[in-house]
Amino acid sequence: MIAGDQSQKFSYELFATDGLARSGQLTTAHGTIQTPAFMPVGTAATVKAMFADTVRSTGADVVLGNTYHLMLRPTAERIHRLGGLHAFMNWPHPILTDSGGFQVMSLAKLRKITEEGVSFQSHIDGSSHLLTPERSMEIQGLLGSDIQMAFDECTPFPCEKKQAESSMELSMRWAERSKDAFSGSPGQAIFGIVQGSVHEDLRTRSIKALVDIDFPGYAIGGLAVGEGQEEMLRVLDFTVPMMPQDRPRYLMGVGTPQDLLESCARGVDMFDCVMPTRSGRHGQAFTRYGKLNLSNAGFADDAEPLDSQSSCPAANSYSRAYYHHLFKSKEILGAMLLSWANIHYYQELMRGIRVAVKSGTFNDFAAKTRENWDRGLV
- CA-nearest of 343, 339, 306 to 321 is 306
Q: Which phi and psi (to 5°) does residue 344 adopt?
A: -60, -40
Give the per-residue pLDDT at 374: 93
Give the per-residue pLDDT at 234: 98
Task: Return the CA Rg of the chain.
Answer: 20
CATH number of 35-273: 3.20.20.105
Catalytic residue among 98, 152, 259, 307: 98
5 is catalytic: no
Catalytic residue among 269, 272, 302, 307: 272
| Run of H or E residues at 251 | strand 249-251
Give the per-residue pLDDT at 210: 98
Do 149 and 193 contact (CB within 8 A), yes or no?
yes
Q: Are strands 189-194 and 147-149 parallel, antiparallel or unpaired?
A: parallel
Residue ranges of the chain with per-residue pLDDT less than 50:
378
Give the per-residue pLDDT at 378: 41
Burial of 297 (0-12, 13-18, 19+ CB in 10 A): exposed
| Domain ranges, ordered by start, for the chain | 35-273, 281-375
98 is catalytic: yes
Give the per-residue pLDDT at 203: 98
Tell me the H-state helices in the chain: 52-57, 67-72, 76-81, 85-88, 101-106, 133-143, 161-181, 200-213, 229-239, 257-264, 275-281, 313-316, 320-328, 332-359, 362-375
Alpha carbon distance 238, 299 (integer Å): 43
Helix (H, G, I), strand (E, B) or coil at 152: coil
Give the per-residue pLDDT at 289: 92
